[in-house]
Structure 1
Amino acid sequence: MTQTPDRPSADLRLSVQAEANQNSPVADKALLFDYRQAANPIRRGLTEPIPYRSWGPELHGSGPSGIIPLDLSAELGTTGPATSPGLAAHFIRIEAGEGVRAAASATSSLFFVLSGTGVCHGREAEQDTSIHWSEGDLFVLPSGGTPLLEASSTSVLYWVHDAPLLSYLGVVPSQPRFEATHYRAEWLRSELLKLAQQPGSASSNRISLLLANRDLPSTRTVTHVLWAMYGIVPDGATQTPHRHQSVALDLIIDCQPGVYTLVGTDLNADGTIRNPERIDWKAGGAFITPPGYWHSHVNGSGQPAYLLPIQDAGLQTYLRSLDIRFA
């Protein structure tokens, strides 16, 4: 069969296991690929694309205390629970008077309190630390120890950590990169409402606060790996599409029916998303925005909606590869 230079045959592969080195154990696993076939291996059956997926609040609405992973490891081909190649998201439900240990070999753990009150007991720099949480609070923990989450009233938390990234790299955390940090609900909500009331905010593409940490001045992110944005989508808003190379694990803090996100790979000439996937919001639910996909939030509910995207954008910012773009 004749083969043109720009159309190599499917899965063209050249093995270096030539006769000259067949007997060399060092070369047994060496391979060569035609660049035109191997330069972008993100396709089904090889490096699986990150899928659309959403999870409803019914996952954590009732039941015993425990951790509920939002696990896509079968689709992503990872060796352990994962929601994206580098991050794992979970709901944690804790009955009043009970406790759950949040164990993960991770450098960064982020917790957002959807409901309830309680205390997180941890250990940092050889000292015991305690964070008392209430609904709407957010806190981050560095590597080290296995925190115990104890609920004084029935609680639901959203937990994201970077253990899948470390598993892929074949490493374990060796030292904390930041100190445990608590962002209280009253402060977050009051600062967000101040921002929303500023002149010009009504016409802004995003009305949001980026959570940052004094230990990480260069990336301006909540941890050195994780990025968190506490945002409001006002009633009647249709946001201009934007995209970035980090994966977003979006938590819907609060909304009424009629709020949704449009997601797609391409734009029309007028800047809208071509053939979008629609993801309808439910308060207390979560969904994925794949990297590089255009997305736009729309609110026709009659009430403001609140969203908390968690991304691996701290790492992407450090690598200088986040590449945020607006339509």
Structure 2
Amino acid sequence: MQRINFKKFNSVGYFCLGASAVYCLIFIIYSFYWLISPYPNEYREFANIDITRMFLEGKNPYDAVNIPPFFYVYGFVVPLLTSWLYSLISFTHIDLLLFQRFIALFGTILCGWISAKEVKNQTNSIVYAFLTFSITLIVGWSMGLCVALPNTLGVFVMLLTLYKAKRIKTITDICEVSFLTILSFFIKQYFVIVCVPVFIWLLFRSKKQALYYTLFSIFCFICAASFINYLYPAFFSIAIVHHLAVASHSLSHLIKQLAITGLFYFPLLLLFLLIEYNRYKNISGKVIISFNLRKDRNSPLIKLSEMPDIYAISVCVYFIVILRL
């Protein structure tokens, strides 16, 4: 483990450490606040507890006989995983709601860990990695840090997908990224959108890799969907058809959500824009883009003067998706 040499720090380094400490303190305080709440905070928490209990009792919540009155509208992976883990520690008599919130908390910490790991690899700075970790915790808190929902574990799988995609070298790596992509769907349906930035980024790298990723992902989804439809007959009706049937669109609600999201994430978005601006400004006076339509499958389809960052592509894609959702 790398030691922090405080003697080499400048004012920016000390500021980053101070901000990280404050963020971590806020995270701990709000974690405690969420964990001690004895009741479900909303309908979705109640539905999550309900379906997890059904898994614990050996029932199939997606069988027409057992469908609960309150639909759990997300994927089954997190409740199923939670029920299995809870059965291993049932002798402790810990409350199921509290345990599920601990799982959500752990997911937030995993998100912070993988984000810090990527920043450490890029900057070789443990200070920036620590700042990234603490900022990720705060972002997790804003999204319902310790709520019994699949949000945080789903975001971790998305980040892990991007992290692995950036390091693709072999066909086995592509298969692994495809598996993680499809897994994200069965955690929380619209998290499968991670496939878009991965596919776009691979077009800048290799046409063959982009094609293999698409084919493996489709194959993986068809196999998983066939097996799950047999095992859980009502799953897709609840997870997809029900979602589309009750979806509504309100311009005022959109504006309100964008305002709240924009105010909270504005510093991060500004930082992202400044980093990308400086990155491409230092390359050359112009950003040259071209398309390679030759039959050479190992070459990229789209060429830039510098390979774009997969996380930058993700930010752009997710912003467009947020406007639609």
Q: Normalised by the size of structure 2, how large is the TM-score?
A: 0.25
Bigger share in helix: 2
Q: Normalised by the size of structure 1, how large is the TM-score?
A: 0.25
Which structure ranks higher in relative contact order (CA pairs < 8 Å, sequence separation ≥ 6)? 2
Bigger share in strand: 1
